[in-house]
């Protein structure tokens, strides 16, 4: 049974429909990630779930209990939901220890130990506990906010970009530590993030939000490989989108004949490949001149060093003619290749595809 159920949830701020009919169910103990462009309503949705805002319409049910139904709503402090706000929202007049221990019973004998333990879990040094929030960096403040929310042992944890002020290395280790901690405590979690790889690696379920609604909800794998449209595809990673003529489970495309993920389609459509599905092998102009049909060659027109992953642009040299499909237009072939052996500008490469292409509706 689902732990959290949200149905037709809406919230307007004057003329702005911040949340415009959201439906989602979240399983107990699972992790959901919400991604979407700035201003699409992610924070508003979390505030509605936490009870800091009342919806105009729609329902929120947590563990079988109705929290909000239209305007009527259970107050935030009775919901058992933790919210780590985007800006941390620490209490400026309290010390860090006071902030972390805010929800703990003042008379609890092990209070200080518990605060120290929570600080340790989020990677904060004991020395900061006596300071006040303004004496901490943005990333440290985010970690205090996380520790404070964890201290309350919520049933549901809502995290609004809690790692945004952390550098890449710390961000990955914090994400892992927090995921483990939430999992071992059995806390169901909803994470809002701008980081696509964070969403895909953290969550069991990913929701892409656009203009107050969810455009698509599914497993990370499903959304990454079978996005409903171009915007969703590009939100979750780089995408190569090509015009194609589809029939019998294959596409005739500028990259030749490629297997697609639909057996039924029989029309002109856009197909999508993730850049890592396109392989390049070193080749020569001689091989190009002797190319058999079905073997595709390209020339590297740009190669930008980026460390682990270099952006390599490839112009196709013997692409099959597709006059009908070509009208749909295609994106250039820009691939990410490991820096150690990335091809250089002018190199001739043999191009092949692994896996299936996804057909857009």
Ligand X SMILES: Nc1ncnc2c1ncn2[C@@H]1O[C@H](COP(=O)(O)OP(=O)(O)OP(=O)(O)O)[C@@H](O)[C@H]1O
- Residues near Mg ion (CB under 5 A): 43, 86
User: Could you say which of ligand X, Mg ion, none residue 303 binds, taking C-beta under 5 to 8 angstroms by partner kind?
Assistant: none
Among 22, 35, 40, 49, binds ligand X (CB under 6 A): 40
- Round to whole Å and give the CA distance between 178 and 166: 14
Q: What angle do CA 197, 160, 309 make, to 5 degrees?
A: 20
| Residue 231 φ then ψ, to 5° | -60, -45
Report in angstroms how near the CB of residue 56 gets to ligand X at its nearest.
Answer: 13
The reply to whether 38 sits near ligand X by the rule CB under 6 A is yes
| Closer residue to ligand X, CB minimum distance, 16 or 66 | 16
- Round to whole Å and give the CA distance between 25 and 117: 33
Among 9, 22, 41, 241, binds ligand X (CB under 6 A): 41
User: Could you say which of Mg ion, ligand X, none residue 41 binds, taking C-beta under 5 to 8 angstroms by partner kind?
Assistant: ligand X
Among 24, 26, 42, 351, binds ligand X (CB under 6 A): 42
**DSSP code per residue over 122-157:** TT--GGGTTS-GGGS-HHHHHHHHHHHHHHT--SEE
**DSSP code per residue over 247-302:** ETTEEEETTEEEEBS-SS--SEEEEEE-GGGEEEEEE-HHHHHTPPTT-EEEEEEE
User: Could you say which of Mg ion, ligand X, none residue 18 binds, taking C-beta under 5 to 8 angstroms by partner kind?
Assistant: ligand X
Lay out the site mask for ligand X across 83-112 (x = CB under 6 A, - = otherwise): ---x--------------------------
The reply to whether 13 sits near ligand X by the rule CB under 6 A is yes
Report in angstroms how near the CB of residue 40 gets to ligand X at its nearest.
Answer: 4
Cβ atoms within 10 A of the Cβ of 306, count? 12
Lay out the site mask for ligand X across 44-83 (x = CB under 6 A, - = otherwise): x---------------------------------------
Closest CA to 89 of 159, 170, 11: 159
The reply to whether 43 sits near ligand X by the rule CB under 6 A is yes
For residue 80, the SS3 value is coil
- Round to whole Å and give the CA distance between 347 and 284: 8
The interface region with ligand X, picked from 34-42, 66-74, 175-183, 296-304 by CB under 6 A, is 34-42
Binding interface with ligand X (CB under 6 A): 13, 16, 18, 36, 38-44, 86
């Amino acid at each position: 049974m689902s732990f959290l159920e949200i149905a037709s949830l809406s919230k307007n701020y004057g003329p702005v429909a911040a949340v415009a009919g959201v439906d989602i169910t979240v399983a107990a103990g699972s992790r959901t990630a919400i991604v979407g462009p700035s201003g699409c309503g992610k924070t508003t949705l979390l505030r509605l779930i936490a009870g800091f805002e009342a919806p105009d319409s729609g329902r929120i049910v947590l563990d079988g209990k109705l929290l909000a139904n239209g305007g009527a709503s259970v107050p935030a402090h009775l919901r058992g939901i933790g919210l780590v706000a985007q800006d941390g929202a620490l209490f400026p007049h309290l010390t860090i220890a006071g902030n972390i221990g805010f929800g703990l019973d003042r008379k609890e004998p092990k209070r200080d130990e518990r605060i120290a333990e929570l600080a340790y879990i989020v990677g904060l040094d004991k020395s900061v506990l006596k300071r006040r929030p303004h004496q901490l960096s943005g990333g440290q403040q985010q970690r205090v906010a996380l520790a404070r929310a964890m201290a309350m042992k919520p049933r549901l944890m809502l995290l609004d970009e809690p790692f945004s002020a952390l550098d890449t290395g710390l961000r990955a280790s914090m994400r892992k530590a927090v995921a483990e901690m939430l999992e071992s405590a059995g806390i169901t979690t909803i994470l809002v993030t701008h980081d696509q790889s964070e969403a895909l690696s953290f969550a069991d379920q990913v929701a892409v939000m656009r203009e107050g609604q969810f455009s698509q909800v599914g497993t990370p794998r499903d959304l990454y490989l079978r996005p409903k449209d171009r915007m969703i595809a590009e939100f979750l990673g780089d995408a190569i989108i090509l015009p194609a003529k589809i029939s019998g489970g294959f596409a005739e495309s500028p990259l030749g004949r490629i297997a697609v993920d639909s057996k039924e389609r029989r029309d002109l459509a856009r197909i999508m490949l993730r850049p890592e599905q396109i392989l390049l092998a070193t080749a020569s102009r001689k091989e190009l001149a002797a190319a058999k049909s079905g073997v595709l060659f390209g020339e590297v027109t740009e190669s930008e060093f980026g460390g682990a992953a270099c952006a390599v642009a490839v112009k196709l040299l013997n692409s099959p003619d597709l006059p009908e499909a070509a009208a749909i237009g295609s994106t250039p072939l820009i691939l990410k290749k490991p820096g150690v052996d990335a091809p250089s500008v002018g190199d001739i490469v043999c191009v092949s595809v692994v896996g299936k292409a996804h057909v857009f509706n």
